[in-house]
Chain A
């Protein structure tokens, strides 16, 4: 029985929480939380329903914030969130995700940290930083950032991460060693080799329901699926209006349903095409795409959506949510078919997460 549905919003000026019941028609909002810090990501720790916010303050540095009362009170820590006194300075936490064996944080400059004490202290996952390709990693437009962490649902030795302008990596030995997972993914900005081993600009990587081998990704250069844990990718951009976009979220029960929001090319503003807001979804694993704009602004909507700013809940029907870089938050209670605006005038939205709790 779901009593509360929470939408967790990270913005450039703090976190916000919108709350409704299972019907998801009326929403109450509270915030700014996390003392107004820039928040790149908020996630929920399974089992405890603790909220975890990845953040970085220009004044006070990076931290993972934690709330054990659904956002009423927070603590924060960056103990151990460092490459050492001689290493590069960690500026911000871009992603925080609970795995089977702890909590993981992806940071800028790109690297992975693990906490086994619920976020109180952190240890560098050196195996990723020690990958032979590391000296050649270069930043994308958003920086050299590890922005996506996808733990395997049942195997605590396996995990995937996404790094902008570097690509996807997988570990099968709990982080000791990592392999690139970019075969079949285009890198159009690399004319000498459009299919390098690494250097692809992954924007968001998601795992389909029910297994652990089916992955999808929204890339700088198209949309892709993999049915073998990322060993090989197949482009499914198909009839989407553009091959650029940031967000992607996968249905919690149907492995063939994924939502994305195509945007115009970076050189053309990274906006929803034609000034008409729309969310696209597939129900057949990316063979075909369906556009949904009902309830969204259909004209003069010059809005963008950043990489972490789309999410789904686990209700039936599934609720889908996205936030814009100009502070509007939209929700669908019917699996992305119709939409309504549930908040406006927020700071630039950087992340959206949703959770249903009793």
Chain B
């Protein structure tokens, strides 16, 4: 596999992966941006994009996405082999 084709490694919170039977908490995904990554994941975990994305589209208010440790938005570039974390924000009671 060429370096350019290496998938990003996406880490999902337990509360998100748990909504989809069989989904892994760590998955590979390909795409040039965070939005592309989410949509790629949705092809294998149907419905996942609706849990992560709000209208706009935008990342849901109480979720944060980090790309290689940096807080990201949907059009943040994702390099091949990047590490992507989806984090449930500290909120609620």
Contacts and interface: CB of A to CB of B under 8 A. Distances in A.
Interface of A: 35, 58-61, 63, 76-79, 82-90
Contacts of B55: 82-90
Contacts of B62: 58-59
Given A76-B47, A79-B47, A61 B54 contact: yes
Contact of A35 (B15, B50, B56, B91): B15
A210 to B, nearest CB: 41
Most buried by B among A58, A82, A88: A58
Nearest to B88: A59
B51 A61 contact: yes
Contacts of B61: 58
B interface majority secondary structure? loop
Nearest to A84: B55
A82 B57 CA distance: 11
Nearest to A76: B19
Nearest to B58: A89
B1 interface: no
Contacts of B47: 76-79
Given A76-B47, A78-B50, A79-B47, A60 B16 contact: yes
Most buried by B among A60, A76, A88, A90: A60
A interface majority secondary structure? loop
B15 A61 contact: no
B89 interface: yes
B82 to A, nearest CB: 23
Contacts of B45: none
Contact of B54 (A35, A76, A89): A89
Contacts of B22: none
B15 A59 contact: yes
A88 B92 CA distance: 22
Nearest to A81: B50
B60 A35 contact: no
Nearest to B13: A59
Most buried by A among B18, B52, B91, B92: B92
Contacts of A60: 15-16, 19, 51-52, 60, 63
Nearest to B89: A59
Given A59-B63, A61-B60, A89-B54, 9 more contacts: A35-B18, A35-B19, A59-B60, A59-B88, A60-B16, A60-B51, A77-B50, A83-B55, A86-B55
A252 B85 CA distance: 51
Given A87-B55, A89-B55, A90-B55, A58 B50 contact: no
A68 to B, nearest CB: 14
Interface in B54-93: 54-57, 60-63, 88-89, 91-92
A76 B47 CA distance: 8
A35 B54 CA distance: 20
A4 B60 CA distance: 40
A76 B19 CA distance: 8
23 contacts: A35-B18, A35-B19, A58-B61, A58-B91, A58-B92, A59-B15, A59-B60, A59-B63, A59-B89, A59-B91, A59-B92, A60-B16, A60-B51, A60-B52, A61-B50, A61-B60, A63-B50, A76-B47, A78-B50, A82-B55, A85-B57, A89-B56, A90-B55
